Chains A and B, each alone.
Chain A
Amino acid sequence: MDSADNQLVAFSDADARLQAVVNVSLEGVLIVDGDGRVRFVNPVAAALLHRRAEDLIGRIFGLPFMVGEVAEIGLLRPSGNLLITEMRTAAITWHGEPAQLIVLRDVTKQRRAEEALRDAEGFSRTILNSLAQRIAVLDDQGVVVMVNDAWHQFAVAHGDEQLRKTGVGVNYFDVCLTATGVGSQYAPGVLQGMRDVLNGELPFFDHEYSADSPDEERWFHMRAVPLHGQRRGLVISHTDITDQRRHGWAVAEANALREQLQARERELLAVSTISGTGRSVARTQRAESVLRVDSPAIFLDCVEQYSALLDAAIEARSFDTAPNIQVSARALAVRLGEQHAVARDVVEIHLAALRSRSIDASPSRQQAYLEDGRVLALQLMGYLVTYYRDGVVV
C-alpha cells in the first residue's frame, strides 16, 4: 500500500471508531459537512427529529454558529411540534473532510418547567402587586424574600428609598427587636406573634396600631399568616384602616348626637305641653313628616346655609367666640322653627352637610367637620328649643 492508501485506512478506522461511539450516545449527534449537509446521524438525533436516518442524510441541516459553548435551538418535527435542545459543536474531520460534530440534548421538559414556574411566579407577583395592602414574604429566619409594589411605595414615601430598612434581604425580626419611637412598645408582642405563627402555635396573628404622620393620625392592621408550601415562612400584610376607623368614629358621633338631640326634643315637647299657648310648635314626629320630604327645596337651602356655618365655625376654630356664626345659627333656627322642624330634621341637615363637605376634604378637615359639626348641631337645636318656647331666639 502506498501512503495515500494508508491514510485512507487510517481515516476509515477513525471514522468507524467515532461512529461506534456516537451510535451509543444518549445524546443526539449529527455530523455535517462544510455546507451544513448531514453526513451522519445517530439514532437519538433521528428520534429527536422524528425522521429516519436515511431521510436526513444528504439534507442541509445548517452550519452551526456559536457565540458561547452552548446554543439553544428548536428542532422542528414533521408534525410541526418543536423540541428545545441545547447544541454543542466540535470541528472534526469526517472521511478526510473538515466537518462539524453537532451534539443535541433535549431540554424541552426542563424549559417548559422553567417557563411554567416563571408564569406561576409572574402570576403570583401580579396578584400581589394588584393589592393595596403592603405585603412582604419572610423566610423561616424572618428575612424578607419578597415585597409587593405597595410595600415598596410605602417604604419610598417614608424615606427608605433603597429599601435598606424594610426591603428584600432585611431581617424583619431584627427590625422589630431594634424598633424605637412611636409604637415600638408593641414590637416585642408583634415579634412573639410572628414567631408563634411560624412555629404553628397560632393560625395567624393580628395587630392594630397607629402611625402618626406629620399631617394626620393613621391606623393600620397588621396580619401574619404562615407560608404554605415547601418552604416555611410568613406572609406579612399591613392594611391602612384609617378610613374604617374614621367611619366607626363618625357613626359613634352620629349616634351620640342623635341621643343628645332627642333629649333636647323631649325638652321641647315638654315646653310645648306646659305653655299650651298655641304658639308655633314642632310637628309631631312621624316617619313621613320630615322637612327633607315635605319641603325639599327648603331642606336643601338649609343644608347649604348650615354647611356655610360649618365652614365658618372651622375657620374660626371656636364657635363661642364667633358672634357672626351665632347670629347666623339663630337665623337658621328661626327659619327651621317656622317650618316646624324637629330634631330629626336638624340631624338630617347636619349629616347632609357633613357628607357634602367631607367629599374631597383632607382627613384632618373631615375630623374637624365631625367635631365642630356636633357643637354646631347642638347649638342649633338649643336655639330651636328657645324659638319654640319663647317665639324668638335672642
Chain B
Amino acid sequence: MSTIVLQLFIAGRTPRTEHAIATLQVLIVERLAGYPCELVIVDVLTDPQQAEERQIFATPTLIKESPLPQRRIIGDLADADGLLTALGLPPARLPS
C-alpha cells in the first residue's frame, strides 16, 4: 500500500490555518487510520521558494501527491468528510 502524501500550503499561523491543520489531523488519525499517511505543512511566508516551485497561487492549498491522480484543493478546509470525497480518499484497496 503506497503512502498517502498530503501537502498543505498555508500563509502564517492564523486561527483559520490552525483549524485547517486540526481538520487534516482528524482526517488522518480517524478517517485514514490503517493507511500510511504523511502530512507536510509548508508556510509560504517562510518558504516562498517551495511555493514558487509548486506554483501555488492561493492559500490554503491542499495537494494530494499520492496516490495518483494528484488533486489540488483550495478554500475552507474545515470539513473532514467533504475533504475525503474531494481528495478521492481513502484509496480503493486492490483485490487480494
> Once the chains are docked, how many angstroms separate the CA of A3 from the CA of B51?
46
Contact partners of A56 in chain B: CB under 8 A: 57
* Most chain B CB within a 10 A radius of its CB, from A56, A62, A66, A74: A74
B51 CB to nearest A CB, Å: 6
B58, A75: Cβ atoms closer than 8 Å: yes
Partner of B59, one of A36, A66, A82: A82
Q: Write the chain A residue with the least CB distance to B78.
A: A67
| Residue A87 lies at the interface, judged by CB distance under 8 Å to chain B | yes
Given A49-B57, A76-B51: A65 and B44 interface contact (C-beta under 8 Å): no
B57, A65: Cβ atoms closer than 8 Å: no
B74, A65: Cβ atoms closer than 8 Å: yes
> Once the chains are docked, how many angstroms separate the CA of A76 from the CA of B58?
6
Given A49-B57, A60-B55: A66 and B76 interface contact (C-beta under 8 Å): yes
Contact partners of B78 in chain A: CB under 8 A: 67
B75, A87: Cβ atoms closer than 8 Å: yes
Partner of A68, one of B51, B74, B76: B76
> Once the chains are docked, how many angstroms separate the CA of A60 from the CA of B72?
8
| Residue A80 lies at the interface, judged by CB distance under 8 Å to chain B | yes
Scan B1-33; emit 1 where CB is below 8 A from any A CB, else 0. Answer: 000000000010000100000000000000000
A62, B59: Cβ atoms closer than 8 Å: no
Contact partners of B57 in chain A: CB under 8 A: 49, 56, 59, 61-62, 75-76
| Residue A64 lies at the interface, judged by CB distance under 8 Å to chain B | yes
A61 CB to nearest B CB, Å: 5
In chain A, positions 32-80 with a C-beta closer than 8 Å to chain B are: 35-36, 49, 56, 59-68, 71-76, 78, 80
In chain B, positions 39-81 with a C-beta closer than 8 Å to chain A are: 44-45, 48, 51-52, 55-62, 71-79
Scan A70-102; emit 1 where CB is below 8 A from any B CB, else 0. Answer: 011111101010100001000000000000000
Interface size on A, residues (CB 8 A): 24
A96 CB to nearest B CB, Å: 22
Partner of A61, one of B44, B59, B74, B77: B74
| Residue B86 lies at the interface, judged by CB distance under 8 Å to chain A | yes
| Residue B82 lies at the interface, judged by CB distance under 8 Å to chain A | yes
B51, A71: Cβ atoms closer than 8 Å: no
> Once the chains are docked, how many angstroms separate the CA of A80 from the CA of B49?
10
Contact partners of A36 in chain B: CB under 8 A: 71-74
B51, A65: Cβ atoms closer than 8 Å: no
Can you name 8 A-B pairs with beta carbons within 8 Å? Answer: A61-B58, A62-B74, A62-B75, A64-B73, A64-B75, A76-B11, A76-B59, A87-B74
B76, A74: Cβ atoms closer than 8 Å: no
> Once the chains are docked, how many angstroms separate the CA of A394 from the CA of B44?
92
B75, A82: Cβ atoms closer than 8 Å: no
Q: Write the chain B residue with the least CB distance to A78.
A: B52
B76 CB to nearest A CB, Å: 4
A115 CB to nearest B CB, Å: 10
A65, B11: Cβ atoms closer than 8 Å: no
> Once the chains are docked, how many angstroms separate the CA of A67 from the CA of B60?
14
Partner of A62, one of B11, B72, B82: B72
Q: Write the chain B residue with the least CB distance to A74.
A: B59
> Once the chains are docked, how many angstroms separate the CA of A191 from the CA of B56?
62
B86, A82: Cβ atoms closer than 8 Å: no
> Once the chains are docked, how many angstroms separate the CA of A369 from the CA of B19?
61
Given A63-B71, A63-B86, A65-B82: A76 and B76 interface contact (C-beta under 8 Å): no
> Once the chains are docked, how many angstroms separate the CA of A311 from the CA of B82?
76
> Once the chains are docked, how many angstroms separate the CA of A67 from the CA of B81?
11
A49 CB to nearest B CB, Å: 6
A71, B44: Cβ atoms closer than 8 Å: no
Partner of B58, one of A35, A62, A66: A62
B82 CB to nearest A CB, Å: 7
B72, A67: Cβ atoms closer than 8 Å: no
